[in-house]
Structure 1
Amino acid sequence: MWPTAALALATTQQTGGRAEAGGWDGASRSALASALADRARHGLDRVSFAKIQDGASGEVLRAAALRYARALAQGMVDPTTLHDPFTLPQGKPDLEPALAEALASGKLGEWLASLAPQDDEYARLSQAYLDLRAQPQDSGAAQIGAGLLTVGDADARVSAIVEQLIMGEYLPADAALADNASPEGALPIYTQQIAAAVKALQRDYGIAADGIIGPDTLGVLNLGAGDRARAVAVALERRRWLERTPPATRIDVNTAAAQLSYYRDGVLVDTRRVVVGKPGTETPPLQSPIYRLVANPTWTVPKSIQNGELAHVGADYLQRHNMELRDGWIVQRSGPDNALGLVKFDMQNEHAIYLHDTAAPELFERSHRHRSHGCVRVEDALGFAQLLADDQKISEAWQAAQAGGEQQFVPLKTPIPVRLLYRNVFVDQDGKVAFRTDPYGWNTPIAKALGFSYPGKARLRSEDADIGP
């Protein structure tokens, strides 16, 4: 990297003396001002980078350009200051010489525009932010008015309530109101089915699960344009943290939505539900590869669980759960009741985070699947393991290992990167921007750094987690 003085001299020479030291001619000043004026498309409109005035010095302009370039290329917030661990690969280009080159070539605007993610998802999130920003921020199409609502009531608000419940997976996507109209046919009815879905939502957020929609429940259901815009801005920031070209074959786990997506050669080939860490034992944002399948795994209980939930269990408990003590560690033997189920997807990381099967498949039917101690439980894990085995051409070895009944290891021919991502706003398979809750409360510091106020919202509570990893 060139010293600042030499860099300024070289840039002046390259522009034939037409610009002041540092290359800040009229066109470059205008390009920077234009880029900053358009920063709303990145959710950065509440961040002040600089006020570009006619008399601003080259050093002031350079500092503003570099700060904005870093925000686009790497994000406003360093994720490693928010998360420990954070091992997702980040893009960190060397911006200072690149800025000098952009100024010298008269392409500052093009260079700044190239720094943010260029993929379709980012573009859709960007447009969603601009659209939401243009709406009244204290109301919106999804705003549900105040007032109690109980089973049997005919009320226009029921349509919006059902929409929010479907979005949160409390009701199936094909839930309809066609058969729920009042006798006059004018208003939908708040039915027992809808109330049951509301009770599930209430339990997740620590509200009395009575199925009655009151102020606290409305506080969760209401997601106005301002709330959505703030969430989209945070989603754009999280996208800017990451390297621009992820592995073409990979497994992405969205821990906010508790969903897994498997990509093969850049094509989405499989999605399924997962159970991830509960608040307090969150699944961390990291990337590490699956390098082997483990058939009929045993489970060595972590000391945090052994000295916590299992601190006072006796021999009877261990026997009932097929456990034994080995050198001071509680180990659960192989079997269908093992907390890891019948397959473990071993990952190379120092944090004891991995994917696995479960002996409690009923949890996949929950709307919020944040119940574990940090590892990721995969729906129909045996089916997923077979899919990977087929892709890796190791099906015969995998099936033989399963049939043995004891713990056996089957290496993958090619390790598969797994990215554990927290995305409560994302683009779904239909190309629509989907919203989920912020179960870990991780949006707040990012939103504040982006200049948003962040009013207190109900947070997910998962007090019924089991002892599994």
Structure 2
Amino acid sequence: MRNRLIVSSLLAVTVALAACGSGSETPDAPAPAVSISEVHWNDAAVRDLRAAIDSRQAHGLDHMNFAVDGRPGSAEGDRALTESALRYASALARGASDPKKLYDIYSVPRPDPNLLPGLAKALKGGDLKDWLEGLAPQDDGYRRLSKAYMSLRGSSDAPTPAIAHDSELLKPGNTDPRVPLIARQLVASDYLDGKDTQGDRYSPAMVKAVQRMQADYGIKPDGVIGKDALEILNLSDADKVRAIAVAMERMRWLQRDPPKTRIDVNVAAGRLIYWRDGKMVDTRKVVVGKPENQTPQLGSPIYRLVANPTWTVPRSIQNKEIAGKGSAYLRRNNMAWKDGWVVQQPGPKNSLGLVKFDMKNEHQIYLHDTPAKQLFQEVQRQRSHGCVRVEDALGFAEMLARDEGVLDEWHRARATGKETFVPLPREIPVRLLYDTVLFGEDGEPVIRSDPYGRDESVATALGFAAGTNHQLRANGGDVGP
């Protein structure tokens, strides 16, 4: 049940993120060059623009002000109206905020349409509203988020939580009407299997789920649901509205026609999806960076597989976690000094495991295997120093090598027992994304944790008041990247 929830959730979101364009067989001809002075308005077009902006709630943009300036009939008025229309069009087409300004690192490809020719054409054809609506993501995932946002928006100003506050602690074995709602959120957060959600009794399975959650957030893992645990589990309508608006904004940041063969990693959920020729062919868990060593939001391709990799320990890890441990530690972990660096030799103890997926980026972020298999059993898998550890990485490498036609080369490389590089005939794009709103099996949005607190800056840019975020407490990590 839990796995179906995860896969359907991730599939729904990633399909939403990955919707193809218009579906036409050939790309449209380049739009003719248009000067802003050539765009003219009339009263009907202004009414259409105002009506479109008045409907911005459907896109979670109702906390932002898109003032319509100017009157038609003069060059100055037409220019002001055009600029107003382009501001709103840009918010729909590429996002109302700029992720490169919100985050230190953001290199996932974004849409960059030339909006002025489209605006001019829409005004001439009298279909301004349809043109504007067509700029937002056109897929079921975005529509479902919009529908959920609209249904919640009416009550979003009321801070009433979904799970009623109660002065009574909820202890193991208690019967309480709050239990079903608590169980639902535990399932949504992947702490509890859906089959363990029956009735009003606070069952042993739920107690174990709560204890895991408490440990992840630095609360005494006693299984007693008090104020702190309830705050983490609880979401008011206002909390949900903010999260859904942020999710829609993140979708607007993304290409409408991403590569059909690619790898998407949801860092917030710790999951990977492999797309091949437009179809999802594989999904698996990943371990990503701790909150203090966050995995950035990157667009960066895999260009080769590395069998039996060595690991040159970065200075930051070397200085903080290895310095002073002595030669016995180095020998025990198959490490040695080489040209002033600590290098770990190939083998089962290597922190990169038995395969590395080399990627092209300046941040030294890549996918890899790991000997720390136990971390894949964690619910919150933010445990690394920033790189992405892949569950059953050898099986995943085998799949990529087969699909790319280099399986024989990969097998020979592995058999050497030495670090050996297998170039891919074509690069496979990878997108390291961050999504905290997924979809359950019932098609309803599921709000998951925000382990890095990244939702806050997006929500603020969209005009929402400050919210609260319960930060994860990293534990159970190791020396690996």
Of residues 42, 47, 50, the one that matches 1:33 is 50
Contact 1:254/1:421 (<8 A) preserved: yes
Alignment TM-score, normalising by the size of structure 1: 0.90
Aligned residues: 447
* 2:373 paired with 1:373: no
Mapped pair 1:327 → 2:339: yes
What is the letter of the counterpart of residue 322 of structure 2? L
Q: What is the aligned partner in structure 2 of residue 337 from structure 1?
A: 349
Q: One-letter code of the match for 1:86?
A: Y
The answer to whether structure 1 residue 108 and structure 2 residue 120 are counterparts is no
Q: How much is the aligned-residue C-alpha RMSD, in angstroms? A: 2.3
Secondary structure in structure 2 of the residue aligned to 1:152: coil
Q: CA deviation at 1:345?
A: 0.8
Deviation at 1:106, TM superposition (A): 2.4
For 1:369 and 1:200, locate their aligned partners in 2 and report how far apart those are by CA, in whole Å: 12
Q: Please show how residues 409-448 of structure 1 align to structure 2 within 5 Å.
A: 409-427=421-439, 431-448=443-460
Deviations 1:372-406 (CA, angstroms, capped at 9, x unpaired):
11100001111111111121122222122222211
TM-fit CA distance, 1:140: 6.8
CA displacement at 1:128 relative to structure 2: 1.9
The DSSP-based 3-state class of the residue aligned with 2:196 is coil
The CA deviation string for residues 60-114 of structure 1, in whole angstroms up to 9 with x for no partner, is: 4323212111111121111111223211111112223432333233232222112
* 1:308 counterpart SS class: helix
2:14 match:
none
Structure 2 residue runs without a partner (length 5+): 1-30
Q: Is the 8 Å Cα contact of residues 219 and 457 (structure 1) preserved in structure 2?
A: no
Match of 1:153 among 165, 168, 174: 174
How far 1:281 moved relative to its partner? Answer: 1.0
Indicate the larger mover: 420-429 or 341-350. Answer: 420-429
- Paired position in structure 2 for 1:17: none
Q: Which of 258, 272, 294 is the aligned partner of 1:246?
A: 258
Q: Distance in 2 between matches of 1:226 and 1:436?
A: 15
Q: Which residue of 1 aligns with 2:237?
A: 225
* Counterpart among 327, 331, 341 of residue 315 in structure 1: 327
The structural deviation recorded for 1:413 is: 2.0
Q: 1:408 is matched with which residue?
A: 420
Partner Cα separation in structure 1 for residue 374 and residue 448 of structure 2: 21
What is the CA distance between 1:52 and its match in structure 2? Answer: 7.1
**Which deviates more from structure 2 when the two are superposed, residues 128-137 or residues 353-362?**
128-137
Cα distance, 1:224 vs structure 2 = 2.2
- 2:111 alignment counterpart: 91
TM-score normalised by length of structure 2 = 0.88
Larger Rg: 1
Going from structure 1 to structure 2, the CA distance change for 1:37 and 1:440 (only over 3 Å counts) comes to: same
Partner Cα separation in structure 1 for residue 440 and residue 207 of structure 2: 27
Q: Does 1:175 align with 2:196?
A: yes
Secondary structure of the structure 1 residue equivalent to 2:282: strand
Could you say if the C-alpha distance between residues 406 and 327 of structure 1 is closer, same or farther in structure 2, counting changes exceeding 3 Å?
same
What residue identity is the alignment partner of 1:160?
A: L
Q: Do structure 1's residue 384 and structure 2's residue 396 form an aligned pair?
A: yes
Residues 233-260 of structure 1: CA distance to partner in whole angstroms, max 9, x if unpaired? 0011111112211110100000011100
Structure 1: gaps of 5 or more residues: 12-22, 182-187
Report how far residue 429 of structure 1 moved: 7.5
> Quick one: percent identity of the two aligned structures?
51
Between stretches 198-207 and 134-143, larger displacement belongs to 134-143
